[in-house]
Amino acid sequence: MTSTPGVGTLTGLFSRSVRLHPGRIAVSDDRRSLTYAELDRESDAVGALLRSHGVGTEDRVGLYVDRSVQLLVAVLGILKAGGVYVAVDTRYPQARRHMMLGKSGAKVVLTEDGWEDRLGGTAAKIVAVSDRSAFEGRRAEAVVEPQNAASVLFTSGSSGEPKAIVLEHRNLVSFAGNPGMPVLRPEDRTGQVSSVSFDAFHFEMWSTLAAGARTVILPTVPELLAAGFRQQMERYGITAMVVPTMVVNHVVHEDQDAFAPLRVLGAGGDVLLPSACRSLLSGSFTGSLYNCYGPAEITTGCTAHLVTREDAESDVVPIGRPIEGATVRVLDAGLRPVAPGEIGELFVGGPGVARGYQDQDDLTRERFLDVPDEDGTVLRMYRTGDLARQRADGVLVFVGRADDQVKIRGYRVEPGEVERGLRRYPEVLEAVVLADGEGNDRRLVAFVVLDAALGVEELRARAERDLADFMVPSRFVVQDGIPVTVNGKRDVDALREVLAAQQAGGTAYAEPRSETERYLTGLWGELLNVEQVGRDEDFFGLGGHSLLAFRMHHRINRELNARLAFPTLLDNTVLKDLAAAVDAAR
């Protein structure tokens, strides 16, 4: 990937790649592929279609289409019409879908033919992408400027109120062509696996198009895992991916060579574990592993770090240095720089900083600040809420969230610091520490993934030996893996549900009645680290998650010589129901 001098808009960035690589494949899925020239023509028709429906400069257009080559056609068409795309994941529930379309002020929703019923109750005009056929050969006439909005992206707020982030063309262009991010080449094939509503999609689409490379629309990560991740990478010829950090942490724990076919692998969105890096770098993977950092408000990425074997042997993997054009500062509460090695809050400035939050001026003023420099100049910066420290060599190390700090017996405790303390033990593969309870009853609970060689009592003894007494978790909950959200971040709500279920005592025990039920009780006990599993238990209620479900699926089919379909497993998560489904599939 190279920088794009003189290009200030996403439409201009794409036009440049069309001129340079007209015959190269730009996007493909299981059914079809489009060259850059073909993608240009098809998106022109979509742009003309939208203009005929009154879409103009900065009009919000909902994007509700299937994951296929049509996704890129639609995004480019919206931008060519002068519009702003509001990407809505088709897997989202109706309430969230309506919230996103309503809160963004979408004037039109671009969707698949026959999907109108799914969007019932939406105030916006519904337009089918297939209607573009009547506009073939026509071009949209919109004039787009770098400062025009390009995308509205939703993220959760600390209060639970969703925030609509407005990203401008210049924000996304500065990211897409940034040489500080994982570098792509025209011959690369980037695997598109993320939710279109998640900011990793920016790399999968825009960074790939900027490089003249190919975006390959893949099945979701869980589906890839079910089919054999490495085999699927080889099948599609994937050479580059940016995936949620938790995917790397989970997958290499089971298969250190899963990412071996890749030339470039980026991880972002959570803490990249040194143990995962050790597994990955000691296997067949010979490519470049990047640890990327950046909130959605600064357009996906503002720092990146090429992970070395030395990093993999350390206590923490750095988030690296600022990418080209970005200014990153570690400041104290008075917005003054802290000394190297001291912990402060990360502030980010530069061309990637978003316009702000749509229709939330007060919150925009609170999070996007004018920060004076040492020479008196003022720079607009985003206040991330993340804590970090800068090493003597200038490399940044993520510490945790500023708003994650809790008081335990009067002491301020950063859960991320406790997590790092636990991860120092090689037998602790993953650790997430949460605060539970209120007031004097507030305590720390550690959810840990352990090597078989370490038990909870020994872990507690080590923690009491090495950590301050107020930092030692009151409870350790052993998990086979840390659950993740659809966007690949640690699923804190799921962990709290696990804790609540354990505190409530779980489901009354019912003995297994068949050989298959007895097999499943043993398998679940092994996967979930639960001593007693009854036939009425629910897999996800006991702390299971999608990655564990795929492991269970493989084990059942292999060990019982069954042909159980994965969707069938997901439809039968109560043990007795699953046993019946397994028997029917044998």
What's 108-167 look like in SS3?
Answer: EEEECCCCHHHHCCCCCEEEEHHHHHHHCCCCCCCCCCCCCEEEEEEECCCCCCCEEEEE
| DSSP secondary structure string for all residues of 329-369 | EEE-TTS-BPPTTSEEEEEEESTT---EETT-HHHHHHHEE
SS3 291: strand
Task: State whether the Cα torsion 569-573-577-583 is positive or negative.
Answer: positive
Q: What share of the chain is helix, strand, coil (3-state, %, to 5)?
A: 35, 25, 40
CATH fold for domain 326-400 = Luciferase; domain 3 (2.30.38)
Partners of 109 in the beta sheet?
Answer: 62, 126
Question: What's the CA dihedral at 116, 191, 181, 395 to 10 degrees?
Answer: 110
Looking only at the bridges linking them, the beta strands covering 149-155 and 163-168 are antiparallel
Taking alpha carbons only, the member of 300, 14, 353 closest to residue 181 is: 300
Give ranges for CATH 1.10.1200.10 in the chain. 515-584
pLDDT at 108: 98
Where in the chain do CATH 3.30.300.30 domains reside? Answer: 405-504
Domain with CATH 2.30.38.10 in the chain: 326-400
3-state secondary structure of 519: helix
Q: Are strands 343-349 and 378-390 parallel, antiparallel or unpaired?
A: antiparallel
Q: Convert 398-426 into a string of H (helix), E (strand) and C (coil).
A: EEEEHHHCEEECCEEECHHHHHHHHHCCC
Residue 498 vs residues 385, 486, 493, 520: alpha-carbon distances, Å: 27, 18, 9, 20
Burial label, 480 (beta-carbon count in 10 A; 0-12, 13-18, 19+): buried
Nearest to 27 by CA among 183, 229, 261, 212: 212
Distance CA 1, CA 474 (A): 48
Query: So what's the pLDDT on residue 405?
Result: 64
| Residue extent(s) of CATH 3.40.50.12780 domains in the chain | 7-177
Q: What is the pLDDT of residue 440?
A: 43
The domain defined by 515-584 folds into: 1.10.1200
Whole-angstrom distance, CA of residue 11 vs CA of residue 18: 10
Mean pLDDT by 10 residues, the chain (586 residues): 66 98 98 98 98 97 97 98 96 84 96 92 93 93 94 70 90 96 96 92 98 96 84 97 88 88 94 93 97 95 97 95 97 95 97 97 96 88 96 94 69 80 92 78 85 88 83 87 85 90 68 96 83 84 70 88 91 96 96
Q: Which residue has the tokens 């799921």?
A: 494
Q: What is the pLDDT of residue 39?
A: 99
Tell me, which fold does domain 7-177 have in CATH?
Rossmann fold (3.40.50)
- 419, two tokens: 């997590």
Which option is the CATH number for 405-504: 1.10.20.10, 3.40.640.10, 3.30.300.30, 3.20.20.70? 3.30.300.30
